[in-house]
Structure 1
């Protein structure tokens, strides 16, 4: 009896051990998962950290500290939802250091999972060191369309250039130019954001230049608020109506209007007006928006104002020009002689037919212009 009880207890203990081991194996991430901190680069203004993993991992925390002589100057804690297998994730930190002494600084970075450290590393850089680099970034401008930087050579060299669009800690767009030749004259580089932006949101544009013969890089950033943008590139107008070709200039989708207003020659009284919805436009997209006047303009000169109205109701671009309607451009000249002589056709039908014909002529003129 005692032997049977002993066997039963042993069996139960084996089941419990196996269940516990299985639960431990399935909890969190795989114990064999290796998370790497592939690269750290920091200046006194910003820090970028590249992480990778041998398998898909979730619910990680990246903790980063900027230190000077053992004291913490600034720190950041970043939640990472996941890193896919054999992929890389870049996180960007903007340091809050309005005044910083020259000298050596340390970066301490560690990756945690459920408060358990998976990996940690340190990186050292020197702020204010007077060393002549091979290239200098003279300036950078980022906006809703892209980022532009001017690179001045000190010595002729080849450089790798990275362009990053940053939202908070996250790099949402990354592009690279490798082995770019920089020699006697300053080089202007530009990269367009090939991703959609939200209207009225703050982003950071970052440019990193790494000379081929140096281990360190030069990094500059520029913060901007995204806005929709468009411009008028071409205008057509006559006594029938007007049209404007609109080109997008932002990665914030333009979903606004084009307003056409014809004034008398003195520009005081509105003669005709129309407001037309524009097709949605992004950078380098262009569309022609057309408006037909309610009544055909008579002989004379008119001031035409075309304005692009943005997503928020603000004016993005404006073009003013003159419509010169000559005497020959009258309705009677566009009405067939047979219709004029046929008294059986009501005059209002003749007028409507003439206006429709004139409208067709306007569209054909615009397309052939």
Structure 2
């Protein structure tokens, strides 16, 4: 009989939409107040607004089990707000620490405190574990350094909104919203990139809040933690006996400030791909990259590689000097080593090839003409003195 009565009460609660009720002290003209509150059994979010700047405010949130008309506090979260700007909505998110929650009715009571005095208060009611399943189900949620993706499956055809949130601590550092999305019968994946910079090796929370409208307004939320990492990949390389280049593609909202290392090794003859030794290594800095940005880095060898086959190794180094990717390829040079050396020696010795400075192509013609001219001038001067 008790089980039947419990299911009856729970079915009644499930038909009542979750809602927030303002229970702020009446008759007070507060400059700051709680404007919106939402919670489920895992997390909550709250929106605050003030008409003038405030300092040293705190925020207390209670998760209360309302069982058989008796209230029992299950968890308490306190957030320090610090400086509070005027005319700007501030979003905060918290996470409940409740293990093995029971099915039933819950109350979330949010209190805004100024020096221990309650200046604004809001309550939110919801039911957990009801037999009435939501119209949409979150199958998977994957946030990373690029953005966030959620896989949804419909119970029935639905129109809905998704708000994507990036959370650091209790602060919503970035949010974006997609409206009037739809699912009919098949599951689908919805994604959004982060529109803000992330810090390398810092932990964040990716959260989605989904709102459906009929037959009544309902919310579904889901959250996952992740650590932001700098990331990039090599998408294209080019190489020859004069130098090499590599195109790097950014894959993170952590600013990528890494390097590329180009190393050329000789290959020993008749030994397959066995390396005979390092010939040259060049390290080049990559301009700062963000997600979906690319840059091409070019380097030139100190000298053209003589005829032969070489192994080129390219390493992509991250912000911390770690190797993110390594690529190898072959350089095949057709440049003869003998001809290359002879050209360099001729240039260093100042040798002049026949006809280089002679318009007539006769070796020494300019020198002979100069000598004859000097003799004629000398004879003319002697005659003049006489």
Q: Same fold per TM (> 0.5)?
A: yes
Q: Say if 1:50 and 1:90, in contact at 8 Å, map to a contact too.
A: yes
Shift of 1:329: 10
Matches within 5 A, 1:293-332: 293-327=301-335, 332=340
TM-score scaled by length of structure 2: 0.75
Question: Could you tell me how far apart the structure 2 residues matched to 1:32 and 1:123 are?
Answer: 22
The higher radius of gyration belongs to 2
Could you say which residue in structure 2 is the equivalent of 1:96?
97
String of CA shifts for 1:217-268, please: whole Å, max 9, x gaps.
1111110111111111111111111111111111111111111122234253
Q: Say if 1:239 and 1:329, in contact at 8 Å, map to a contact too.
A: no
Unaligned ranges ≥5, structure 1: 1-30, 346-369
Q: CA distance change for structure 1 residues 331 and 153 in 2, over 3 Å: closer, same or farther?
A: farther
Q: CA distance change for structure 1 residues 116 and 328 in 2, over 3 Å: closer, same or farther?
A: same
Could you say which residue in structure 2 is the equivalent of 1:56?
53
Matches within 5 A, 1:191-340: 191-213=192-214, 214-265=216-267, 266-268=273-275, 269-327=277-335, 332=340
Q: CA distance change for structure 1 residues 215 and 263 in 2, over 3 Å: closer, same or farther?
A: same
Could you say which residue in structure 2 is the equivalent of 1:348?
none
String of CA shifts for 1:333-361, please: whole Å, max 9, x gaps.
9979x97997249xxxxxxxxxxxxxxxx
Structure 1 window deviating more from structure 2 (234-243 vs 178-187): it is 178-187
Could you say which residue in structure 1 is the equivalent of 2:11?
none
TM-score scaled by length of structure 1: 0.78
SS in 1 for 2:218: coil
Could you say which residue in structure 2 is the equivalent of 1:66?
63
Question: Could you tell me how far apart the structure 1 residues matched to 2:289 and 2:151 are?
Answer: 28
Could you say which residue in structure 2 is the equivalent of 1:150?
151
Could you say which residue in structure 2 is the equivalent of 1:11?
none
Shift of 1:285: 1.8
Q: CA distance change for structure 1 residues 300 and 131 in 2, over 3 Å: closer, same or farther?
A: farther
Q: Say if 2:61 and 2:110, in contact at 8 Å, map to a contact too.
A: yes
Q: Say if 1:267 and 1:303, in contact at 8 Å, map to a contact too.
A: no
Matches within 5 A, 1:17-36: 32-36=29-33
Question: Could you tell me how far apart the structure 1 residues matched to 2:338 and 2:219 are?
Answer: 69
Question: Could you tell me how far apart the structure 2 residues matched to 1:103 and 1:226 are?
Answer: 37
Q: Say if 1:56 and 1:83, in contact at 8 Å, map to a contact too.
A: yes
Question: Could you tell me how far apart the structure 1 residues matched to 2:238 and 2:337 are?
Answer: 16
Does residue 38 of structure 1 match 2:35? yes
SS in 2 for 1:74: strand
Could you say which residue in structure 2 is the equivalent of 1:121?
122
Structure 1 window deviating more from structure 2 (286-295 vs 111-120): it is 286-295
Question: Could you tell me how far apart the structure 1 residues matched to 2:208 and 2:274 are?
Answer: 48
SS in 2 for 1:79: strand
Q: CA distance change for structure 1 residues 197 and 340 in 2, over 3 Å: closer, same or farther?
A: closer
Q: Say if 1:247 and 1:287, in contact at 8 Å, map to a contact too.
A: yes
Q: Say if 2:49 and 2:89, in contact at 8 Å, map to a contact too.
A: yes
